[in-house]
Chain A
């Protein structure tokens, strides 16, 4: 199946998004 891969930059940006 499709792999869902997130890099560190994306994950850190999600922390600060409203």
Chain B
């Protein structure tokens, strides 16, 4: 059994439909076996079309800023250079999911809401969403553990942006509130 139930969501960008209609919950699971049964039967992120997302969130939290668990939160963002899609994307997304379902963030684990992988032509992104952007100790602990679990270089940095800041920036990236 897992600590909590999780839901996998899939987003496919079809411009004729509203954003929310393009977001579908695939399934829920609450055991390690059911996680692997799901993982072994869906496409890897690197095989998805540009414009698609997967999101894995605690059951009951929708993968959008507006959800009450997300609206005060933010995300640790890992931006991948285009050439990394074939090298690192699938492993980084799997390790992100294993951190989530294994509750790898210690006492701050409940502050982790979920994660999203965006497949984009200009560069893929993986983001870990947390509940309270102002909880510095929690956000920093989660960021340090996450960076280590992904095996990112000491020289690399990842930034944390509050959703409230991201939501008001349509094109350029929101400022980093924290960096590890």
Interface residues of A (CB under 8 A from B): 3-8, 10-12, 14-15
Contacts and interface: CB of A to CB of B under 8 A. Distances in A.
Contact of B98 (A3, A4, A8): A8
B126 to A, nearest CB: 16
Given A3-B103, A3-B109, A5-B103, A11 B98 contact: yes
Is the interface on chain B under 10, 10 to 19, 20 to 34, or 35 or more residues?
Answer: 10 to 19
Given A5-B3, A5-B102, 19 more contacts: A3-B3, A3-B103, A3-B109, A4-B1, A4-B3, A4-B103, A5-B104, A5-B109, A6-B102, A6-B103, A7-B102, A8-B98, A8-B104, A8-B149, A11-B98, A14-B32, A15-B36, A15-B39, A15-B40
